[in-house]
Amino acid sequence: MQKSKLKIVGIASDDLMRKHKIFYSKAITPNEILLFCDYSSIDIPIGYEFNFIENSDWTVLFSGTIRLKEITQEFMLPYDQIPKGHKSICKFEFINTNVPKLLLDLPTISDWYESSQYLYFVQGNN
């Protein structure tokens, strides 16, 4: 099975979350996070589950279930999938655990170009 990867570039800022809270139907819980995601190489539907977080050297930093819950982009319109070739802002849910600290250590940003740090959500065998 080929790995599916999604590059995560930062945490959506509180200001951005407040400004567009209508899109995000429920409050963010300790096991959820809003993240800026770089261009996707594939269509990724709501409900898709990643099972690893890796760094740029492809070292596994986290193993567990990460579910894609909600998707938007720069115009704050809801999507039912991350379209191939698009950047997005997504809500992810960590199943049976809180959001790991390594994600909370990413920069808080309001734009895709404000960060030089990144991690990858990966689905597939390691």
Which helix (H) or strand (E) segment holds residue 16: the answer is helix 14-19
Q: Could you tell me if residue 109 is left (phi over 0), alpha (psi between -120 and 50 degrees) or otherwise beta?
A: beta
Euclidean distance between CA atoms 49 and 69, whole angstroms: 10
Look up the pTM and report it. 0.90
* Nearest CA-CA partner of 90 in 110, 70, 120: 70
66-70, 113-117, 118-122: range with lowest mean pLDDT: 113-117
For range 102-116, the mean pLDDT:
90
Chain-centre distance for alpha carbon 52: 12
Asked if residue 88 has pLDDT above 90, the reply is yes
Q: Model confidence over 89-98: pLDDT tens digits?
A: 999 999 999 9
Domains of the chain, start order: 4-123 (2.40.30.10)
